[in-house]
Structures are given as structure tokens and as C-alpha cells.
Structure 1
Amino acid sequence: MTKQKSETWEWLKALMIAVLLAALIRYFLFAPIVVDGLSMMPTLHDQDRMIVNKIGYTLGEPKRFDIIVFHAPENKDYIKRVIGLPGDKIEYKNDTLYINGKAYKEPYLDEYKKKVIDGPLTEPFTLKEIIGEERVPEGHLFVMGDNRRFSKDSRHIGVIPMEKVLGKTSIVYWPVEDIRIVK
């Protein structure tokens, strides 16, 4: 009888440790997220399932063009691309991104730009027109969805405070036929 109790207790301890480890990993290191909507098309598709790396930005800073997950003002989590870093001056003209006066290529938009026949993919704007400041404030990011015509992003909700950023995401793990690393 005591041998059976001992074995049961060992199994219970192993199960409790596994559950605790899973909770710690999910809360502090990595978490799943589901893409909800078309704002990141063609890079990400509605209902793609991804892994959010929560520790990346505790060790380093976001980089331009990272795909991040953040808490949006509507109590939802959004997935967008980092366009402007703190101190950057952002402008869009003639369907070209300018950061600090330098034109940047956005290869992830090439597919969409070829299909657009009724004007630019991204309407022209300056950061000053959107947030009333020339540069992205310290501790904030300017983000945009890849589906520029149908994305609610920093052009609508303003710059994103770093403390609202959950982490970086780049791995699509579901559906199985679409497993990939996105850039």
C-alpha cells in the first residue's frame, strides 16, 4: 500500500512541476497568439497562429521592421510592423517610406504594390500630421500593418509605448502547410 501511495505521490509531483513550468514559460517567455484580421496581409493571414517571444525585448531593443505584438487601446492585442524607433522622423510620399530623410525599401510590400492600380498603397503623411511631433518620442514606437489600406495602426491610434509591447513574433506554426519564419 505504501509503495502505491509513494508512486502516486511521485506522479502528482511530476504533474504539478510540469504544469508550473508550462505556466512560467507561457507567462514569462513565449506565448501563442492568433492573427485576427487582414491588417498584416500578405505577410500574415487571418487565423495564422504564431509564437510571441516575450523575453527578446527585455534583453534588447526592437529593431526597425520587427513584427511585434502589443496591447492596443481597445483592450486587444495587435500585431504590426515596427516602422519608426524613438527619435526617428517618419514620412511617406510617392508610396515610399522615408526615415530621417532616407528612403527605405519595404520588400514585404512588393507583392501588394504590384496589384494596386488605383493610387498608392500607402497614402502620403508625415509624423507631425499624425501625432503633432516631428519625431517618434523616446520610449515609443511607430507601427504599421503591411496591408496599408486596411490597417488600424499608429496612423490611427498613435505611437505605442514600449511598456505596451508584449514581444516580437516571427514564427507561424499553424496551419501546418503554412509553417514559416516571417520577416
Structure 2
Amino acid sequence: MPKALDDWFIREILVHEAPLMHYLLRSAPRREEASDLRQEVYARVYEAAGKALPQQPKAFLFATARHLLADRARRAKVVSIEPVGDFEPLHVLVDDVSPERWCGGRQVLMRLADAFDRLPDRCREVVWLRRVEHLSQREVAQRLGISEKTVEKHIAKGMRLIAGSFYGGDDVPRPAARGRPPVDADGQQQAD
């Protein structure tokens, strides 16, 4: 059976190597992992085909690639919890943070989170992907299906609104809820 399985694999799976690599380069978190991912996809497909040949080899190949990427993403979210005995090597200044500084930092963080929450939905999504998840402008554009210029405009608008809300006080308008005009900090409706 290995010879027949090898022939099937070459005939039905390896012919899709270019589209598979294109998919992996586009979808993998790091482009340099694409070749390793391809090999792992091939190993999974070969192993599964050894048990039973799939009816639609190309669809099975790409479904396997999707599942592998999803598995990797899930594993990346797992946080390793390791006990730390000594904070000294970590350069963490535990004793130097006064209660006032701690509270002030939390207040600043809350103000920043509030300013971020006030952004329009699409603008907030772009700012999050670009500034928090550190995706490139091109990756954000591809993920959201918009142009890079639009990403640039959303980033500029988001940063301007956050800075205005954060440093300019509460007079920065809150975004309109769906179907309602924007309101100011006092909840009063703003004129267009």
C-alpha cells in the first residue's frame, strides 16, 4: 500500500503545493514558518490518507491547513505559569511604587480605555489591530478588506480622537450609537 499511497499523494496532493504555500504565507502569523507548516500539513494528510483516502483531496488538504493554523493559534494563547522566586533579575521595582502612583496609573489606564471605547467601531478595530496586535498596515488592510490608505486614515483619526479625549478633556464628542446622532460629554445631542 505505501507505493500506492505515495503515488496518490504525489498525484492528488503535491500538485497543490503552490496554492497551499500562498495560503500559508498569507495566513501564518510569521511568514518564515510557512515551510514548516506545509510539511506538517503534508504529514497530517499523509497519515490520514493511510487510514482512508479522502473523497476531495484538495479540500481535505486546505481544511487540514486551516485546522493546523487554528491549533497553532490556540496553543499560542496558552500562558505558561512558572513560579518566580526572585524579582531582582527581572528588574521589577516592587517596593518603589507608592499607593498614589499605583492608583494614578490605574486612573490613567481607565481614561485611556474609555477614550479607546469611544472610537467608532471600524476605527477602533483598525487601531487595535495596528497598535495592540502590532500588525502591519498591509496586514490590517488585508484582514479587514480595506485599502491601506483607509487603514492610514483610521489610525490618524483614532489617534487624534484618543489624544483629544485623553488630553483635551471630556469635551470630545462620543461616537453616535447606531441610528442616533452623536452626544457630548453631558449626554446632550450635538447639532450637525
- TM-score, normalising length from structure 2? 0.21
The structure whose RCO (Cα within 8 Å, separation 6+) is larger is 1
Computing the radius of gyration from Cα coordinates, the structure with the larger value is 2
